Amino acid sequence: MAAIGAARQRRRAPVPDLAGRACLITGAASGIGRATALAAARRATELLLTDLQAEPLQETAELARLAGARDVRCWAADVSDHDAVLAMARDVHGARPCVDVVMNIAGISIWGPVEQLEHEHWRRQVEVNLMGPISVIEAFIPPMIRAGRRGQLVNVSSSAGLFGLPWHAAYSASKFGLRGVSEVLRFDLRRHGIGVTLVCPGAVDTPLVDTVGIVGVDRTAPDVRELVARFRRHAVSPEHVAEAIIAAVEHNRFLVLTSPDIQLGYWFQRKFALPYELAMRLLNDRLVAVALASREGSAPPAAAPIPGGAGGAAAPAARGEAHDA
């Protein structure tokens, strides 16, 4: 019965099969974005890929061609640069009325206690993780509506778009925002035959795990290293997330929670408000204890670098400072 239901849902999906469809993916140079590009390539999708990092983006393009993509085009661009996104959209729409699938995957992540986060940390995350997808939506969804073709919009948020995780205020500002945009567009775009998918991953084993910016924490301290190792141990692979994203597109699923712990946590949050609050308090105390222990005996940690921001160098992402959680 479940199989019949899934088959029906797939038939009704705006993009039941990615083969031959044009799919725009941001953040395609690394992690979840690259894995999703390759998963789509294996389904003979036509790929329009973009990322801040030009060279790794070209590598993804090469891999995608080898994996079977029907065609691949790349744009090295900063998703937070509205004019750059509009220029890319003009280029894309010069050759076609619209794309079939838009995937907002690019993102950065910096955590820290509110008294240590700098204004630039907040601003940059909102610019990249929220205003970036908004620019992409502005540039690519109206042409999809005008063309009268069915399509799918995918926004990658985070478990930090569902829960009040310790020290995630600036990151959550962007990821809750993207969740809000998705929740509204899910209903607004329905009448145009455009589906919306909101992806909230938990831990994913991407390059970010080693580079996530935690303001005021010595990442070399044993307790912090143990915390990072634990994060990696229960992280799912980017390929797992990619397959979940593709399946969600082909079945027009709205909410995708890619890890069992996040599925359980989300259920728990909605069913048990008080135990959820107590669990979050404990988690918060634990993280602060680890952070304080990391500072003992070590020099005051430097401020977290801001990927692509004022404190960063010219090509921060190339140094592996653009990262996500």
Ligand X SMILES: NC(=O)c1ccc[n+]([C@@H]2O[C@H](COP(=O)([O-])OP(=O)(O)OC[C@H]3O[C@@H](n4cnc5c(N)ncnc54)[C@H](O)[C@@H]3O)[C@@H](O)[C@H]2O)c1
Rounded Cα gap, residues 219 and 155, in angstroms: 30
Interface with ligand X by CB under 6 A: which range of 134-142, 190-198, 206-214, 246-254? 206-214
Question: Using the rule CB under 6 A, is 156 a contact of ligand X?
Answer: yes
Place of tokens 């993280």: 287
Nearer to ligand X, 238 or 301 (CB): 238
Nearer to ligand X, 17 or 210 (CB): 210
Smallest distance from the beta carbon of 249 to ligand X, in angstroms?
Answer: 16
Question: Using the rule CB under 6 A, is 172 a contact of ligand X?
Answer: no
* Alpha-carbon distances of 86 from 101, 103, 145, 280, rounded to whole Å: 17, 16, 17, 41
Smallest distance from the beta carbon of 126 to ligand X, in angstroms?
Answer: 12
Rounded Cα gap, residues 305 and 316, in angstroms: 9
285 Cβ contact list (under 8 Å, min separation 6): none
Question: Using the rule CB under 6 A, is 51 a contact of ligand X?
Answer: yes
Burial of 226 (0-12, 13-18, 19+ CB in 10 A): exposed
Rounded Cα gap, residues 104 and 33, in angstroms: 9
Distance of CA 167 to the CA centre of its chain: 19
Q: Looking at 109, 152, 172, 182, which residue binds ligand X (CB under 6 A)? A: 109
Question: Using the rule CB under 6 A, is 316 a contact of ligand X?
Answer: no
Question: Using the rule CB under 6 A, is 305 a contact of ligand X?
Answer: no
Sheet with 22-26: list strands edge to edge: 71-76, 46-51, 22-26, 101-104, 151-156, 194-200, 255-257
| Known catalytic residue at 276 | no
Rounded Cα gap, residues 226 and 222, in angstroms: 6
Nearer to ligand X, 18 or 212 (CB): 212
For residues 146 and 98, is the Cβ–Cβ distance under 8 A?
Answer: yes
Smallest distance from the beta carbon of 148 to ligand X, in angstroms?
Answer: 30
What is the chain's Cα-based Rg? 20
Q: Looking at 13, 39, 74, 322, which residue binds ligand X (CB under 6 A)? A: 322
CA neighbor of 170 nearest in space, from 212, 200, 206, 223:
212
Estimate the crossing angle of helix 169-188 against helix 132-147, to 10 degrees.
10
Question: Using the rule CB under 6 A, is 108 a contact of ligand X?
Answer: yes
Q: Looking at 14, 151, 166, 201, which residue binds ligand X (CB under 6 A)? A: 201
Catalytic residue (choose from 111, 171, 176, 266): 171
**Side-chain half-sphere exposure of 122, counting CA atoms within 13 A:** 10
Provide the mask over 234-263, with x wherever binding to ligand X is found by CB under 6 A and - wherever it is not.
Answer: ----x-------------------------
Question: Using the rule CB under 6 A, is 79 a contact of ligand X?
Answer: yes
Q: Looking at 162, 203, 224, 287, which residue binds ligand X (CB under 6 A)? A: 203
Smallest distance from the beta carbon of 161 to ligand X, in angstroms?
Answer: 8
Question: Using the rule CB under 6 A, is 37 a contact of ligand X?
Answer: no
CA angle 234/164/296 to nearest 5° reads 70
Provide the mask over 111-140, with x wherever binding to ligand X is found by CB under 6 A and - wherever it is not.
Answer: -----------------x------------
Residues near ligand X (CB under 6 A), total: 35
Question: Using the rule CB under 6 A, is 307 a contact of ligand X?
Answer: yes
Nearer to ligand X, 79 or 255 (CB): 79
Give me the residues that bind ligand X (CB under 6 A), please. Answer: 26-27, 29-33, 51-53, 78-80, 105-109, 128, 156, 158, 201, 203-204, 206-208, 238, 307-308, 317, 322-325
Q: Which residues are catalytic?
A: 171
